[in-house]
């Protein structure tokens, strides 16, 4: 018999707000000393009351709209109770009854073509802390830096059917949420985490099989391996009756490449959800809703199409730039100044993106002012500044975003001057110093000329039209 | 036996005694529980900051029952307080002794109102949201209020005017203008009703208090009508469900991990939780935790908790109907003018029964003033007016 895999995902994404969801502590403590980003509220002390960070609701709405969801205009917070030492108040404030967004749709593309994945809901909630086990002392310490950092949980319908689709879906979520600047979505940083619900059924059947859940998967590769393993295990159980499948939560051991049933004690329990009486329902009026809606960027594929069709970029270039909203914004601003899309795209791809790569920055970390980049491109394309000096100016602009390329070129002697007298004097001196190269060139070694050319360009600090220099150089050698 | 969990030295006048549910950074806050024995808060409650800023000295922290939801204080870790064979409340005893001018307390389940009724004091449980709950030990957040007790209605009004006000640190806090409106005073009410349904199980001396209050209102020119509104009796069941559920959730944070009592012997995290809570919590609190835990279970949520939420709305609507016709509703605050240790020994969760009289105001958030041994309930933000009416009942001079 042939089988198909049915997969639904619960994806937790850390929102990129400055502060935590119910207090003013910084939400960014990646790599910080333990318990340095805590206050009485997020460490569960009595007497503090939650005050909703409006930014979190903004970001929740943005995420919902990017994933084509309906926004609940009255959204409420609820308490989910369970005991765990990393949960200081012994409850997590989450959204159970009226989540911020429902009924979404995300389009993915795989080798089998395009497919829509339905989103059941997106709810906002607070993160828990971390337990750090000290092997030497055989004790466990609690770090509350991460408690109350805002999360959204994106719950999909069981619409996915392979590891490839899951990978495409996660990539799509990451792309869309980064595009709206609501989240980093970096599994390696823990800013995106994933629970996989999986079952197997005979192909064509409309009845779902027994479902197992694998929690807290933290790399796409691990997720893919886990899906393949679980699928095989389920099919084996159905075909060969090797075991009886039960609905359970399993832990994926990526090193052993196996999943294990968690002790029922770890998973059983009643979360006793109820509305949090300390958090009033959040009412999203038209004005708020519209301001969020209008702040959203076009979808990446819309931009890509526009770049190709309206601006004439190659599909490769358009795809490269639409990998990040920061690249898009920089490119669009530069193009607005120069009026030459291809030129601006070239600079983005061959210069800006390579500097980001060299500096090990993500594309989203780009802070370069696109208008200033446009001015630089103009200076280079109209011959005011040499290309090599242009690159130097760009590097300086990365270090200091306040730099004006024109003023920088002037104060650093980077303005091209086609003073032929100066060029001839420089060439003459260079020729005199390199008789061997001159002879080689005269004997047909074209390459020998480049050494003299390079020396002249260096002497002139790049402020010379390459064509002018080349002509003068060849003329002078030929006259010898 | 001490009325104080903490006592300040050289207290100047005017002074306010706090009950031990109100957090102070210079004195421990125990919530009457072994769990928080000697717990020091990092901050003052908003009401305390306001009192200090207005020049009131904090006289100390009065003993309370464990998490302050019991009958009158009998469940305190330090033991029940008894005077002349009667159970008494520490805050009220301190006021009666003249050691403080007023008390500021957290009214979780009416124990403060019961105590003031039995001690002949005046108390105000304000409209929910007019006084910030920032810095109070949370128990039943949807209904509990920072309340005032004093010998006179005017003293209550004075203290209320200091602690009232919008607070951005409390998401349920009402607007500044609403808070201001709650201070408005009045002369006599035109029409008052007594809800007869609440008189069925009260002692004769309580009925006498009701009659005396009715006579005082009539003498002041008000019409007093006795009516039956049996729906309001459901307030108790609804409140018992809601407050136990919230309590169960709120006290879950006391697990022996971060602060507070930790059992000496345990092996593993589960035993750390269980032993710490078993040793530190008293019988009544454990009972309430079990009630609350049951009402919130997936199995019971819709048929118990959700029903209580709907009942809360029905009760509020019923009151709104009454206030279209009456300026205030008159009820007993207690069924008897004294409680004894024997009563509690016989039924340790008597607070779940006796709160019949206080639950209507707790569950709806309406203001309630206890005066002359009886309770008045008024529409939202009628706090100042109720205190004016109270002066008619107590015969307080203007
Ligand atoms: Zn905090």
What pLDDT is stored for residue A267 in this prediction?
52
Does A118 share its domain with A139? yes
Looking at the complex, does the CB of residue B228 fall below 8 Å from at least one CB of chain A? no
- Residue A266, pLDDT > 60, answer no
What pLDDT is stored for residue A206 in this prediction?
86
Q: Are strands A212-217 and B368-371 parallel, antiparallel or unpaired?
A: unpaired
- Considering only the beta carbons, identify the residue of B43, B137, B168 that sits closest to A51: B168
Where residue A263 falls among pLDDT bands split at 50, 70, 90?
low
Last residue of a domain, one of A229, A253, A286: A286
pLDDT along chain B (398 residues), means of 10: 90 94 97 96 98 97 98 96 96 97 98 98 98 98 98 98 98 97 96 98 98 97 98 98 98 95 94 96 98 93 96 98 98 98 97 98 98 98 98 88
**A353 near A345, Cβ under 8 Å?**
no
Please state the φ and ψ torsions of residue A295, each to the nearest 5 degrees. Answer: -85, -10
Half-sphere exposure for A282 (CA within 13 Å, toward CB): 28
What pLDDT is stored for residue A382 in this prediction?
86
What's the token pair of residue A165? 């689709």
Q: Is A293 within a domain? A: no
Please state the φ and ψ torsions of residue B254, each to the nearest 5 degrees. Answer: -85, 90
Please state the φ and ψ torsions of residue A218, each to the nearest 5 degrees. Answer: -125, 20
Nearest to A14 by CA among A30, A1, A33, A36: A30
- Chain A to chain B, count of Cβ pairs less than 8 Å apart? 92
- Residue A268, pLDDT > 60, answer no
ipTM: 0.94
Look at the block and give the residue holding tokens 């809703």.
A289
Å between B170 CA and nearest CA of chain A: 6
Q: Is A213 within a domain? A: yes
pLDDT, average across residues A356-384: 93
Does A227 share its domain with A322? no
**A147 near A86, Cβ under 8 Å?**
yes
CB crowding B55-93: b at 16 or more within 10 Å, else e: ebbbbbbbbbbbbbbbbbbbbbbbebbeeeeebbbbbbb
- Residue A216, pLDDT > 80, answer no
- DSSP-derived secondary structure for B42-108: SS--HHHHHHHHTT-EEEEEE--SGGG-SSSSTT-TT---EETTEE--HHHHHHHTTS-SEEEEEES
What pLDDT is stored for residue A469 in this prediction?
83
**A37 near A128, Cβ under 8 Å?**
no
Q: Is A361 within a domain? A: yes
Does A267 share its domain with A332? no
- Stretch among A88-97, A160-169, A461-470 having the lowest mean pLDDT: A461-470
| B126 Rama class: left (phi>0) / alpha (psi -120 to 50) / beta | beta
Give A79's contacts (C-beta < 8 A, 6+ positions apart).
A91, A92, A93, A94, A272, A273, A274, A275, A276, B249
pLDDT, average across residues A271-278: 96
Look at the block and give the residue holding tokens 């949960």.
A87
Does A354 share its domain with A464? no
What's the token pair of residue A469? 């220099």
What's the token pair of residue B198? 């609440």
Does A266 share its domain with A341? no
If one counts the domains in chain A, the total is 3
Asked if B245 and A274 come within 8 Å (Cβ–Cβ), the reply is: yes
How far is it, in rounded angstroms, from Cα A246 to Cα A210? 6
Asked if A45 and B137 come within 8 Å (Cβ–Cβ), the reply is: no
How far is it, in rounded angstroms, from Cα B394 to Cα B152? 8
Q: Is A176 within a domain? A: yes
Q: Is A291 within a domain? A: no
End-to-end Cα separation, chain B, in angstroms:
38
Q: 3-state DSSP call for residue A156?
A: strand
Distances (CA, A) of B268 to A85, B253, B339: 12, 18, 43
Does A222 share its domain with A337? no
Looking at the complex, does the CB of residue B141 fall below 8 Å from at least one CB of chain A? yes
**Mutation for testing the B interface, residue in A96, A274, A283 having most B CBs under 10 Å:** A274
Last residue of a domain, one of A411, A438, A469: A411
What's the token pair of residue B179? 């808070």
Residue A49 carries which DSSP code? -
What's the token pair of residue B129? 């949201």
What's the token pair of residue B290? 């079990």
Strand-pair partners of A78: A94, A275
**A116 near B287, Cβ under 8 Å?**
no
Does A218 share its domain with A191? yes
Where residue A264 falls among pLDDT bands split at 50, 70, 90?
low
Residue A383, domain extent: 298-411
**A72 near B237, Cβ under 8 Å?**
no
Does A391 share its domain with A247? no
- Ligand 1 centroid to Cα of residue A63, in Å, is 24
Asked if B171 and A279 come within 8 Å (Cβ–Cβ), the reply is: yes
Q: Is A281 within a domain? A: yes
- Considering only the beta carbons, identify the residue of A49, A91, A280 that sits closest to B134: A49
How far is it, in rounded angstroms, from Cα B328 to Cα B84? 34
Does A228 share its domain with A110? yes
Does A437 share its domain with A397? no
How far is it, in rounded angstroms, from Cα B61 to Cα B25? 12
What pLDDT is stored for residue A450 in this prediction?
85
Does A349 share its domain with A222? no
- DSSP-derived secondary structure for A251-276: EEETTTTEEEEPPHHHH------EE-
What pLDDT is stored for residue B144 in this prediction?
98
CB crowding B276-287: b at 16 or more within 10 Å, else e: bbeebbbebbeb
Q: Is A292 within a domain? A: no
Look at the block and give the residue holding tokens 């009151």.
B319
pLDDT tens digit sequence for A286-334: 999 999 999 999 999 999 999 999 999 999 999 999 999 999 999 999 9
- Ligand 1 centroid to Cα of residue A49, in Å, is 11
CATH classification at residue A446: 1.10.10.410
Whether residue A453 has a cis bond before it, omega within 30° of 0: no
Q: How many residues does chain B have?
A: 398
Nearest CA in chain A to B67: A46
**A192 near A13, Cβ under 8 Å?**
yes
Whether residue B388 has a cis bond before it, omega within 30° of 0: no
All structural domains of chain B, each given as residue ranges with its CATH number in brackets, are: 4-234+309-394 (3.90.1300.10)
Last residue of a domain, one of A379, A411, A443: A411
Q: Is A268 within a domain? A: yes
What pLDDT is stored for residue A294 in this prediction?
97
Does A354 share its domain with A376? yes
Its pTM stands at 0.89
**A88 near A147, Cβ under 8 Å?**
yes
Asked if B171 and A142 come within 8 Å (Cβ–Cβ), the reply is: no
Percent of chain A with pLDDT over 70: 99
- Residue A386, pLDDT > 90, answer no
How far is it, in rounded angstroms, from Cα A457 to Cα B330? 99
């Amino acid at each position: 018999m042939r089988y198909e895999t049915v997969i639904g995902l619960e994806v937790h994404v850390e929102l990129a707000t400055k502060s935590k969801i119910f207090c003013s502590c910084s939400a960014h403590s990646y790599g910080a000393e333990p318990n340095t980003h805590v206050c009485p509220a997020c460490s569960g002390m009595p007497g503090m009351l939650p005050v909703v960070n409006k930014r979190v609701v903004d970001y929740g709405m943005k995420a919902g709209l990017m994933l084509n969801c309906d926004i609940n205009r009255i959204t409420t917070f609820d308490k989910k109770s369970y005991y765990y030492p990393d949960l200081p108040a012994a409850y997590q404030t989450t959204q159970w009854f009226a989540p911020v967004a429902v009924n979404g749709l995300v389009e993915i593309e795989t080798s089998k073509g395009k497919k829509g994945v339905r989103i059941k809901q997106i709810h906002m909630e607070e993160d828990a802390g971390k337990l750090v086990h000290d092997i030497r002392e055989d004790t466990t310490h609690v770090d509350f830096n991460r408690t109350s950092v805002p999360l959204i949980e994106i719950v999909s319908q069981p619409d996915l059917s392979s590891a490839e689709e899951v990978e495409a879906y996660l990539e799509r979520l990451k792309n869309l949420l980064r595009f709206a600047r609501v989240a980093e979505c970096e599994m390696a940083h823990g800013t995106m985490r994933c629970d996989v619900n999986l079952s197997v059924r005979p192909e064509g059947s409309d009845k779902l099989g027994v479902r197992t859940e694998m929690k807290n998967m933290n790399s796409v590769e691990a997720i893919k391996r886990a899906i393949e393993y679980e699928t095989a295990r389920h099919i084996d159980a159905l075909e060969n009756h090797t075991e009886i499948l039960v609905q359970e939560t399993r832990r994926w051991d990526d090193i052993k490449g196996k999943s294990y049933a968690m002790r029922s004690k770890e998973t059983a329990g009643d979360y006793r959800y109820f509305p949090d009486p300390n958090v009033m329902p959040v009412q999203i009026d038209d004005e708020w809703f519209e301001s969020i809606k209008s702040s959203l960027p076009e979808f990446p594929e819309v931009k890509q199409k526009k770049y190709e069709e309206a601006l004439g970029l190659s599909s490769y270039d358009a795809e490269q730039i639409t990998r990040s909203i920061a690249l898009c914004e920089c490119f669009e601003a530069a193009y607005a100044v120069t009026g030459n899309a291809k030129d601006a795209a070239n600079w983005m791809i061959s210069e800006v993106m390579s500097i980001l790569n060299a500096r090990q920055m993500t594309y989203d970390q780009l802070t370069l002012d696109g208008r200033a980049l446009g001015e630089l491109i103009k200076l280079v394309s109209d011959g005011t500044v040499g290309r090599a000096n242009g690159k130097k100016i760009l590097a300086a602009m990365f270090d200091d975003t306040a730099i004006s390329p024109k003023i920088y070129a002037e104060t650093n002697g980077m303005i091209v001057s086609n003073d032929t007298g100066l060029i001839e004097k420089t060439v003459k001196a260079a020729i005199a110093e390199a008789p061997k190269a001159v002879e080689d060139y005269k004997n047909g070694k074209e390459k020998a000329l480049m050494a003299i050319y390079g020396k002249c360009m260096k002497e002139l600090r790049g402020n010379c039209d390459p064509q002018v220099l080349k002509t003068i150089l060849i003329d002078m050698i030929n006259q010898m | 036996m001490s009325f104080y969990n903490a006592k300040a030295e050289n207290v100047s006048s005017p002074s306010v005694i706090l009950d031990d549910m109100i957090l102070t950074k210079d004195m421990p806050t125990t919530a009457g529980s072994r769990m928080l024995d000697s717990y020091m808060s990092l901050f003052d409650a908003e009401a305390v900051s306001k009192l200090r800023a207005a020049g009131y000295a904090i006289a100390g922290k009065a003993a309370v029952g464990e998490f302050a939801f019991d009958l009158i204080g009998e469940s305190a870790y330090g033991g029940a307080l008894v005077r002349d064979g009667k159970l008494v409340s520490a805050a009220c005893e301190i006021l009666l002794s003249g050691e403080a001018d007023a008390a500021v307390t957290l009214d979780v389940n009416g124990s403060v109102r019961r105590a003031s009724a039995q001690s002949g004091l005046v108390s105000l449980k304000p409209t929910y949201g007019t006084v910030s709950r920032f810095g109070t030990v949370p128990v039943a957040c949807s209904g509990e209020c920072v309340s005032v007790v004093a010998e006179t209605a005017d003293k209550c009004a004075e203290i209320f005017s200091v602690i009232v006000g919008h607070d951005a640190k409390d998401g349920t806090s009402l607007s500044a203008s609403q808070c201001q409106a709650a201070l408005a005073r009045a002369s006599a009410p035109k029409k008052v009703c007594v809800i007869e349904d609440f008189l069925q199980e009260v002692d004769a001396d309580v009925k006498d208090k009701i009659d005396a209050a009715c006579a005082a209102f009539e003498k002041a020119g008000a019409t007093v009508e006795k009516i039956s509104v049996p729906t309001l009796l459901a307030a108790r069941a609804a409140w018992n469900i809601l407050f136990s559920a919230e309590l169960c959730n709120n006290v879950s944070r006391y697990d022996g991990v971060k602060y507070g009592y930790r059992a000496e012997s345990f092996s593993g995290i589960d035993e750390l939780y269980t032993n710490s809570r078993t040793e530190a919590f008293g019988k009544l609190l454990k009972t309430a935790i079990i009630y609350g835990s049951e009402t919130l279970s997936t199995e019971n949520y819709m048929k118990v908790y959700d029903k209580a939420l709907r009942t809360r709305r029905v009760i509020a609507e019923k009151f709104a109907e009454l206030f279209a016709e009456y300026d205030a509703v008159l009820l007993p605050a207690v069924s008897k003018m004294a409680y004894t240790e024997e009563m509690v020994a016989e039924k340790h969760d008597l607070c779940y029964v006796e709160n019949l009289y206080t639950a209507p105001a707790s569950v709806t958030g309406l203001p309630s003033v206890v005066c002359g041994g009886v309770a008045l309930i008024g529409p939202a933000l009628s706090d100042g007016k109720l205190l004016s009416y109270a002066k008619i009942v107590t015969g307080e001079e203007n």
